[in-house]
Each structure stands twice: as C-alpha cells, then as structure tokens.
C-alpha cells in the first residue's frame, strides 16, 4: 500500500510538471507569433533574414553564435528593387537624348534675376527681420522675386550676437545664436576643408557647413524655395561668442596651441571630439530660425524612403517594386488628396543633386493645411563628388510622378548650366568659394541622371501621366 501511494504521488507530480511545461510552451509560442505580427506591420523596414538556422526574430540585430566549430551566417536579402532601378537608369544614361546636353540660353534670365536679388540694396538693419518673417508662407521660405534678399543675408552675416547657447536639437554640435533684436539663428561650425572627400556610406561624416550654404542657393535657383535663409559667417569665438555664452557652453571652451576650441553639449558631443577655430576665428553656416508663434510650429514625419542605417537590414522600398503604389493607397500620400507625395519627389531630386542621403525625417508646418515639405538640415550633402547615389531618386523612379513646374525648371539648367549658375550665385557668399569645382561638376552629371530617370518613367506610363499640373506648388 505504501508503495502504491508513493507511485501515485510521483505520477501526480509528473502530471503537474508536464502540464506546466505545456502551458509555458503554448504561452511562449503565442508571445512569439504576436511579436511577428506586430513587426510585420512596420510599413518601411523588412528583415533581410526571414529564415536562418537559429531562428532570428525579424527586425532584430544579427548575432552570430558559435555552434560547435561553425558560426551561423546571416543570409542577406538583396535590395532587388534598388538594384534593378539603378541598372536601368545607368542603361538609359548611355542612350540619353542629345537635347539634354544642349544649353538653354533662357537660364540666363533666371540667373540674372537672382543675382540682382542677392545684391544688397539697403543698409544693414535689424528691421529687416520683419521683412524676412513676412516672406515665410505655407509653401515657401522666400518669394520668387525678393529684391531685399541680399540685404537680409548681409544683415544675418553682420549683426551682433547677444546670446550663444547649445542647440541640443539633433545629434551633432550646433549653436543657437540670438542676434540683436531677438532674431535667432543656428550656427553649424566648419569641420572639414573644401577639398575633403567624405568616404563611406552616403550619410557618413559630420555636417558640412558649406553644404548648408550651397543647398540654400540651389533651392532658390531651382524654384524649390523651401530652405531657410542661410549664409556663411566667420565669428570670433573669444570676442563674439564666449562673452555671451551660456554657462554650460562656456565650460566646453579651451585653448589648444594658438587655436580656440570647444565641444558643446549634444548627443554626440564630447571633450574627445572638439571643433577648433583658426586662432580665434570660426567659419560656419548661419541658418535663420523660423518665425516665432504657433503658425510656424514644425511637425516631423518619418520619410517613407528612410534608410535602415544597418547593412543587414533592407528597407521595404529597397525590396518592393510596388512600394509607391501601396503608399499612394494612404490618404497622406495620395496625389489626389494633397501635395505631400509631389513634395517628396521634389525633395528627392534636390537631395540627389546635393548628394544628401540622410533625410530620414521631414518637417512641415503643423498648423497650416497643405504645408510644403521643408528642406531643412542639409549638412550631410556634398560629401563625395565622385559618387552618385541613385537610390536617393527612389520616390521619382518608383512613383513616376513629377510637377511640371519642377521639370521645366530642371530643363532650364541642362547643358552644364546648373554648375555655372550655382557658382555665380555662391560668389556672393562671405565664405566663397563655397564648393570645390569637383562638386560643381557633379551637379551637372547628376542632373543627367534625373533626366534619364524621367525618360524611364515616360517610357512606361507616358508623359501625360508622369507630369502633373499641381495647383499647390
């Protein structure tokens, strides 16, 4: 009897253990599959490793664990949509129509009007802040004709700094300067000489101050007047900045030989990575801040063509040829319901020309209907003049729609007129020469790639479906 009781107790314990193990197994499976379902709802990023030997969860960072003497290798999913598009664009470039190589003399009229606007016509005055503030609307930062533009830019270059603080928005070192009469402006210091070539991925390196200056001038040249007013400015750190610096910023200044250096306070800022002036003079880009008030409050959106910034992960747009059609099924990106998608195509062309592959988010004015996609934060541009990252054009070659007004303006600067015109505009800058000749030549080469991409689109859909007469420009 005693033996029987013992056996019954053992059986009950075994049953309890088995049921508990079964419950935990079912629970773990449910949690795992719920995770997969949630991960699969991400519209923009897909795992490059759907099935691997150690059952990695999609979206997680690849790890290699030793199994005996062998390692489990990640199976990389090719970025097939990008590979196909790039190959087709390069093929089209080889047979591009001669009309795209002929100069259009009408560009000279547009260039001369801008050169006239860039000439200072009135004395330096902080009353011009109000003029620049009135220029900002839902669809542009500066009007098509603005005779006081040169005067505003010269005032931005010259007005006394009354306060200097860390600009902690973003990841890189920037200063928020307050100029006389409460005008705020963002200062990005110089990290590289003009001749420096940034190797690595398209988003490599620190911000280039001269890229911000060049991007602003290119935006007004192409009629994409969505960049804030930007100038090159040289400031004396000891005389102009340190006496008015906030305490936390002031504490990061020090002397290195004959040069004044600082490292500021930001996500990536550290004493091991300072930026140094030439003696006391620091060159940089000064970007006029947006007008105060709720009307021009910014709202940020993730760019549908955002990169993953991880070699082992491909974005959905890099693998799915039908990505744009799925995007257009949403209200925000349906061309019939608003200008947002056309704005992003404009931005993609602009970014490709300046080689900016780092627009992972974009901003619009939050409280304005149909507000334009602003071209802010262009510092990761003009890194390597010998590289053309054709995948930046994905919104164009996947959606195959383009504003006719944008297309007409691009055609105006064919035949190497783009580099000639931008160089002429940049001669007005206080930090001229702004770009090296190699970067200027790259603009003309990349414009041809835009033409080739457009030709691919019209061969598929016809010019009537590609070019759009958008009432909201």
Q: What is the pLDDT of residues 377-395, one digit of tens each?
A: 999 999 999 999 999 999 9
Residue pLDDT, tens place only, 167-214: 977 788 999 999 999 999 999 999 999 999 999 999 999 999 999 999
DSSP string, 138-156: SS-SS-S--TTHHHHHHHH
Both tokens of 411, joined, read 């055609």
Residue pLDDT, tens place only, 130-160: 999 999 999 999 999 999 999 999 999 999 9
Indicate whether 295 pLDDT > 90: no
Q: What is each CA distance from 74 to 201, 308, 312, 318, 402, in whole angstroms?
A: 21, 17, 8, 18, 39
Indicate whether 428 pLDDT > 50: yes
- Helices 149-158 & 107-118 angle (0-180, nearest 10): 40
Residue 18: predicted pLDDT: 61
pTM of the complete model: 0.84
Catalytic residue among 351, 358, 377, 388: 358
Residue 53: predicted pLDDT: 29
Q: Where are the domains of the chain?
A: 81-126+292-468
Read off the pLDDT of each residue in 419-440 and give the average, rounded to a whole number: 97
CA distance 346 to 393: 10
Let me know if 370 is a catalytic residue.
no
Mean residue pLDDT of the chain comes to 87
CA distance 216 to 198: 21
Residue 78: predicted pLDDT: 76
Beta strands 467-468 and 402-403 are: parallel
Sorting pLDDT into bands at 50, 70 and 90, what band is 5? low
Both tokens of 460, joined, read 């598929």
Indicate whether 43 pLDDT > 50: no
Q: Which residues contact 25 (CB under 8 A, 6 or more apart)?
A: none
Indicate whether 13 pLDDT > 70: no
Residue 20: predicted pLDDT: 61
Read off the pLDDT of each residue in 334-362 and give the average, rounded to a whole number: 97
Lookup result for tokens 């200056």: 213
Residue pLDDT, tens place only, 225-271: 999 999 999 999 999 999 999 999 999 999 999 999 999 998 889 99
């Amino acid at each position: 009897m005693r033996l029987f009781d013992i056996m019954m107790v053992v059986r009950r314990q075994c049953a309890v253990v088995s049921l508990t193990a079964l419950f935990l197994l079912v629970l773990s499976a449910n949690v795992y599959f719920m995770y997969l379902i949630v991960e699969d709802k991400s519209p923009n990023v897909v795992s490059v490793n759907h099935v691997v030997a150690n059952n990695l969860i999609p979206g997680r960072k690849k790890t290699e664990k030793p199994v005996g003497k062998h390692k489990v290798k990640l199976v990389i999913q090719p970025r097939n949509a990008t590979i196909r598009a790039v190959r087709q664009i390069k093929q089209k470039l080889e047979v591009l129509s001669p009309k795209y190589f002929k100069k259009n003399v009408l560009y000279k009229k547009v260039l001369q009007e801008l050169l006239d606007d860039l000439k200072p016509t009135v004395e330096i005055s902080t009353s011009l802040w109000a003029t620049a503030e009135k220029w900002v609307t839902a669809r542009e930062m500066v009007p098509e004709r603005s005779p006081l533009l040169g005067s505003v830019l010269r005032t931005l270059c010259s007005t006394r700094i009354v306060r200097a603080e860390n600009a902690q928005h973003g990841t890189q070192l920037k200063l928020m300067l307050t100029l006389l009469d409460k005008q705020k402006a963002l200062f990005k210091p110089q990290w590289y000489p003009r001749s420096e070539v940034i190797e690595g991925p398209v988003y490599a390196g620190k911000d280039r101050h001269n890229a911000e200056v060049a991007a602003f001038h290119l935006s007004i040249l192409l009629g994409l007047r969505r960049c804030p007013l930007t100038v090159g400015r040289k400031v004396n750190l000891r005389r102009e900045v340190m006496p008015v610096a906030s305490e936390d910023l002031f504490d990061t200044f020090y002397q290195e030989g004959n040069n004044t250096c600082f490292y500021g306070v930001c996500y990536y800022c550290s004493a091991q990575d300072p930026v140094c002036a030439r003696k006391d003079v620091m060159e940089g880009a000064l970007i006029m801040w947006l007008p105060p008030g709720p009307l021009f409050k910014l709202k940020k959106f993730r760019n549908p063509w955002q990169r993953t910034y991880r070699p082992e992960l491909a974005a959905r747009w890099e693998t799915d040829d039908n990505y744009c059609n799925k995007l257009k099924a949403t209200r925000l990106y349906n061309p019939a319901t608003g200008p947002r998608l056309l704005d992003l195509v404009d931005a993609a062309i602009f970014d490709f020309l300046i080689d900016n592959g780092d627009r992972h988010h974009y901003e619009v004015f939050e409280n304005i209907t149909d507000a334009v996609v602003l071209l802010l934060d262009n510092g990761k541009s003009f890194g390597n003049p010998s590289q053309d990252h054709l995948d930046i054009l994905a919104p164009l070659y996947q959606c195959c729609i383009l504003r006719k007004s944008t297309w007409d303006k691009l055609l105006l600067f064919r035949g190497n007129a783009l580099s000639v015109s931008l160089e002429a505009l940049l001669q007005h800058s206080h930090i001229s020469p702004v770009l090296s000749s190699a970067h200027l030549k790259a603009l003309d080469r990349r414009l041809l790639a835009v033409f080739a991409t457009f030709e691919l689109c019209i061969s598929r859909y016809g010019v009537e479906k590609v070019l759009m007469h958008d009432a909201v420009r």
